[in-house]
């Protein structure tokens, strides 16, 4: 069966501020390759986790595939149709929703909870006034709030409650697919579990498909069926969650799994934002394999050639963009890249 979402070679470049004196000199504005040729699918009913250090392009991937940001290139097929070539996105906007990281800044402080949840119904012109009111009450209750709270403003709710309002709003149009962009990162650890459980219950009840973006590996491991790992605008590994965590095929994934646990939540596992070493700038990414400036296994071939996603141990569902996955690659006969060769690229 076709996946619900298929992303093909998605690109999103930002341009630095256009400088006219540079233009006079014939210089093109510098681009930041936030997302640089990303391909993956999200299968119906699953949760695909998207993980990586901050700035790796994971949020931009989510926002661009929803067409909330204009893509630089590539295609996104939603239920078989190319979203970027569709002139009427009304149906797509109903079926594909987003829950943002920060419920404090993503909700309009001047609107009541009820108005926030009702707004998508108003915009899409669904139901009579009475029906909308009833639907809002039903949604509030479904996410663990009470219908009596609809007249309160965001500042009157806790962080977890605000995220529940964001989730109720995302559910209002009965979507099939939700991009959850760090939905629990801004919340206390005790509240995180409640929100994750709510998202899991809703997924089961409504048959939802999630793209779940996060930097906290324990959260990703808990909620995902499959996981994609991003580094500097590219997906370097993708596979079933247990494979990624127990049998990683890419040195970057290995490094993430070895990164130090967060000090504040020692039992909460590992946070990829604590990985050692500097991430090179996406303005000028390293040649060849983009991880070669930080990779302990780097050889000269890695600085020259860009690896594809190779099967890990013959598993076509588990791929890693590393030459070490290919037995007869010239990588193996190539000399190791010394410290200078690695740092020279940054
Ligand atoms: Fe490391 Fe080379 Fe594999 Fe890249 S291709 S991850 S530099 S070993
Ligand atoms: Mg982000």
List residues near ligand 1 (CB under 6 A): 250-251, 289, 291-292, 295, 297-298, 302, 307, 322-324
**Using one digit for the tens of pLDDT, what is the confidence trace for 13-51?**
987 666 777 778 887 777 888 999 999 999 999 999 999
Name the region of 293 (left: φ>0; alpha: ψ -120 to 50; beta: rest): alpha
320 CA distance to ligand 1 middle (Å): 10
Q: Give mean pLDDT, residues 214-239.
A: 96
**Closest ligand, as measured to the CA of 324:** 1
37 CA distance to ligand 1 middle (Å): 18
Per DSSP bridges, beta strands 96-99 and 310-312 are unpaired
165: Cα within 13 Å, side-chain hemisphere: 32
254's CB contacts (< 8 A; 6+ apart) are 248
| Nearest alpha carbon, ligand 1 atom 6 | 322
* Strand ranges, E, within 20-166: 31-42, 47-51, 73-78, 81-82, 96-99
Dihedral pair phi/psi, residue 345, rounded to 5° = -80, -15
For residue 301, give the ligand 1 atom closest to its CA: 2
Q: What pLDDT does 266 receive?
A: 42
**Using one digit for the tens of pLDDT, what is the confidence trace for 237-263?**
999 999 999 999 999 999 999 875 655
Give the whole-angstrom CA distance, residue 94 versus residue 172.
9
Per DSSP bridges, beta strands 96-99 and 177-181 are parallel
279 CA distance to ligand 1 middle (Å): 15
271 — pLDDT class (breaks 50, 70, 90) = low
What is the ipTM, given to two decimal places?
0.93
Per DSSP bridges, beta strands 81-82 and 73-78 are antiparallel
Domain 5-285 has CATH 3.40.50.300: yes
Pick 311 or 337 by higher pLDDT: 311
137 CA distance to ligand 2 middle (Å): 31
Q: What pLDDT does 65 receive?
A: 97
Give the whole-angstrom CA distance, residue 321 versus residue 302.
11
Q: Which residue has the tokens 């989730």?
A: 167
């Amino acid at each position: 069966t076709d996946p619900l979402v298929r992303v093909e070679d998605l690109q999103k470049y930002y341009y630095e501020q256009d400088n006219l004196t540079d233009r006079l000199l014939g210089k093109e504005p510098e681009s930041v390759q936030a997302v640089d040729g990303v391909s993956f699918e999200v299968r119906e009913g699953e949760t695909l986790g998207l993980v990586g250090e901050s700035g790796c392009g994971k949020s931009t991937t989510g926002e661009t595939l929803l067409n909330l940001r204009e893509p630089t290139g590539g295609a996104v097929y939603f239920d078989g149709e190319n979203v970027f070539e569709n002139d009427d996105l009304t149906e797509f906007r109903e079926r594909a929703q987003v829950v943002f990281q920060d419920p404090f800044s993503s909700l309009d402080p001047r609107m009541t909870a009820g108005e926030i949840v009702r707004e998508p119904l108003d915009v899409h012109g669904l139901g009579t006034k009475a029906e909308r009111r009833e639907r809002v009450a039903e949604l509030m209750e479904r996410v663990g709030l009470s219908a009596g709270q609809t007249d309160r403003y965001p500042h009157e709710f806790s962080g977890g409650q605000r995220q529940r309002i964001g989730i109720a709003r995302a559910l209002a149009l009965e979507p099939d697919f939700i991009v959850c962009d760090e939905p629990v990162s801004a919340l206390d650890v005790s509240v995180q579990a409640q929100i994750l459980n709510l998202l899991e219950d809703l997924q089961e009840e409504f048959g939802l498909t999630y793209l779940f973006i996060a930097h906290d590996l324990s959260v990703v491991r808990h909620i995902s069926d499959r996981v994609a790992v991003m580094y500097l605008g590219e997906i370097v590994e993708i596979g079933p969650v247990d494979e990624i965590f127990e049998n990683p095929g890419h040195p970057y994934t290995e490094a993430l799994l070895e990164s130090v646990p967060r000090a504040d939540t020692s039992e909460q596992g590992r946070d990829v934002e604590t990985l050692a070493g500097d991430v090179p700038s996406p303005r000028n990414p390293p040649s060849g394999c983009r991880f070669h400036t930080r990779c302990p296994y780097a050889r000269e071939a890695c600085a020259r050639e860009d690896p594809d996603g190779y099967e890990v141990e013959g598993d076509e569902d588990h791929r890693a963009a590393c030459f070490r996955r290919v037995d007869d690659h010239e990588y193996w006969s190539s000399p190791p890249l010394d410290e200078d060769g690695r740092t020279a690229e940054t």
